[in-house]
Chains A and B, each alone.
Chain A
């Protein structure tokens, strides 16, 4: 890339992994917008993806957007059990999906909601004691990173934690590789070896130790007893301990139990000191999708809009399960922020509302191109902690991008009403 051809830099808020960094330098050049420095591989990959074009098509053939909207509306009008999935998109787009779903009924799920649902199931059974990223950065004296994906899926986490005097890092169940903790300037982290597939046992042992109950055996869940005793003592002695996990990446047969164990451990610790969870997730605006579906329906992801209103049924409404079980006759997939490829289920038509760079497993019945949030238009995404809703300001507005997904979906709703009216 010719640096001289690059135009003015902008500072953008990054929508990709969920950490919501609001200091991403963007350079727009002939190849489209790119991060101004190579500080974050995930951001670079997201922007790179966005430079691939997407075309408006009906059955793979180029089509005018208005015709494609009518074709999609006909499919919607004929569908009896639509699946609204993907939702890897800005809040406004997800809200527009819900407006559509309210007219047709159907299942609502985000492409990456597995981890989120694990945390949510525990919250709905037990609760949670959590901190936001800013609180962790400002106040923590001990941060326990459970598993490598706490930093590998969130590349700037260690940098964002920065390292004031007195802040210690513990890597539980993993050993950092070069680059994992880029930006961390504090003392080297302490590694506590453990088998993360046995995290529920590990958490139970830590709870026992924190409560002053002895734990039998020389090693528990791959961790040596002395190492666990030391960790329990550190957690109990910390003024403001943080336990971070990425529920989407937790191994083991029942990852929910791992979350449950960590949440109970945290709650116990709060009897005498402060200890808070930092559940990490939220790539492709998963958190924002959860928020808007929850406030508009009262339920949340993996609910269905039924004739009696919204109904939460996470076991039943996972999009991949619905597809595998053949319980849908139309997929409406929305993706402006990446996510997995748009599925291509056998015999079930797919309407894709897709920004540039969206990957496809096959040829959808209709592709409706949508703009890139924060490049082509202003939009809102949530940070992983659910507190910060961040505004993405268009840095390439008016440069011939596609319309916002919210408008594309609004047009689709209007076309649906017309098709229904005509019958």
Chain B
């Protein structure tokens, strides 16, 4: 199948195009260089004057696995009030804050997203997570496995088994669970909560033989780098949501000692303790650090007002916040000597001082961090807001007057406490293309996604330029997945399946005995039971794509 997209204004920052008028050529699902005269397209689509970008990539969105499914069960109102019939070959589904899997794929595709990554896969729940992702159509996906609160890593560190053993263990876990990256959530804190501690600072001695979060963090960051995993250690810092936690966040970056880090949902980690209410924005301090630290990237975890549910591996903070549950019900779970999960429904209110300031802090971060290659657009779906609010968020970033209109409606003390009103910056289309396409692809090591150069998978989005950026990004004219038209005018028109992306560093098989004996003793399960086979991805729904580790990893 050959398609020519003629005359579009192409925003392809990875290849240096910022709105230049160019034709795109697609052959058998991939972009090809201008093939010249002899090439006969099966279809020519006139996109003259339209904005053309690669499919967007969500680097952090809780879309599948155990905690998401508990959240679906918990959020009965969300599923009762938002129901979708199965029509035209699509499957039925329900939910906005915690959409069912098919619905998740449809909603992403309708907004021009062609990939989303589940950032909090518990190793013991990996098979479940992948089954959900496999039932999520139209988009590529992958998952980050959570480490840093698992009994075995803490034991390896406390017993001083050496970095090589840690690397082998991390590599084995990534391979067994089919992970794309490694995430650490509240390093040591989830474990500590199991031992009945309620807070654990970066340098506090934890309950596991005095091991500090700093040691855990550094060792994981080093393992990820030495194994050559493209995406740096994905860090959910200690002390989420606590006023004054900016100190922990800054100290976490310092602890990495120049090793690459990705800090996730930094909005929840950029709080000061100033003012009458002892809650203030520290966005400027974090932004300043990001601006001068090229090895650091972040995603924001913007909050937007309305009903959602917070779903996190961080049981320590979820239990601490359970009193804020709205509706008043919540779930915490300790998981298999491995991790945990906590689900707390939440309604962010613009007339609530804290919520309103959280909203402003997220936007401050977006606008004060200068390099769009190192700040990614997320709401930490569903924690800050459902992913379907991205078009609204993009408008807030691109449209200063719209932003100021909204600022005027929030809690006045919060409006007075933010510098948001004085920030003139408006994101350009090119910057949006960077932060939602080129940059996440580069960060994850996806060579043939997130751009429109020859060889790229033909995930292409065509928009009609519109002053109302929410409308523009909410209803793209055309969305192609692998060269196939899957959505038109913001409606899914055809089915397709995306690929599953994984990284598989090698390990010394000697570690398998250590893991096997540990599990047999602790959980009573065979380590073999965690390993997901290739055959489990052979369901005819997209490929299992193994990405190479970076050579410069090594020592």
Contacts and interface: CB of A to CB of B under 8 A. Distances in A.
A391 B533 contact: yes
Interface string A94-124: 0100010011000000000000000010011
Contact of A295 (B64, B83, B330, B522): B64
A127 interface: yes
A389 B128 contact: yes
A418 interface: no
A310 B330 CA distance: 24
Contacts of B337: 134-135, 138-139
A261 B549 CA distance: 51
Given A389-B128, A389-B131, A297 B526 contact: no
Interface stretch (B99-107, B245-253, B267-275, B358-366): B99-107
A276 interface: yes
Contacts of A91: 131
Interface residues of B, number: 63
Contacts of B91: 99, 102, 296
Contact of A390 (B64, B103, B333, B529): B529
B92 A129 contact: no
Interface string B513-555: 0000000001111101100110110000000000000000000
Given A102-B92, A124-B73, A295-B72, A380 B526 contact: no
A389 B127 contact: yes
Interface in B71-117: 72-74, 76, 79-80, 83-86, 91-95, 98-103
A131 B92 contact: no
A133 to B, nearest CB: 7
A50 interface: no
B196 A134 contact: no
B66 interface: yes
B124 A132 contact: yes
B306 to A, nearest CB: 18
Contacts of B101: 295-296
Interface stretch (A62-70, A215-223, A245-253, A299-307): A299-307
A129 to B, nearest CB: 5
B388 interface: no
A138 B92 contact: no
Given A120-B73, A124-B73, A162-B524, A132 B83 contact: no
Interface string A279-314: 000000000000110111111100001111111100
B73 A388 contact: no
Among B91, B195, B322, max chain A CB count under 10 A is at: B91
Contacts of B103: 298
Contacts, number: 189
A307 B79 CA distance: 15
Nearest to B83: A309
A138 B83 contact: no
Interface in A260-291: 270, 273-274, 276, 291
B122 interface: yes
Contacts of B92: 102, 297, 305, 309-310
A297 B151 contact: no
B448 interface: no
B336 interface: yes
Nearest to B329: A127
A336 interface: no
Nearest to A276: B334
Contacts of B79: 298-299, 310, 312
Among A120, A126, A291, max chain B CB count under 10 A is at: A291
Contact of A129 (B66, B332, B335): B332
Interface of A: 11, 13, 22-23, 91, 95, 99, 102-103, 120, 123-135, 137-139, 160, 162, 239-240, 270, 273-274, 276, 291-292, 294-300, 305-312, 378, 380, 382, 386-391
23 contacts: A22-B528, A22-B529, A123-B331, A127-B325, A127-B343, A132-B334, A134-B522, A134-B524, A134-B525, A270-B319, A292-B131, A295-B69, A296-B135, A297-B92, A298-B72, A298-B79, A298-B94, A298-B103, A309-B85, A378-B535, A387-B128, A388-B125, A388-B128
Interface of B: 64, 66, 68-70, 72-74, 76, 79-80, 83-86, 91-95, 98-103, 122, 124-125, 127-128, 131-132, 135, 151, 194-196, 319, 322, 325, 329-338, 343, 522-526, 528-529, 532-533, 535-536
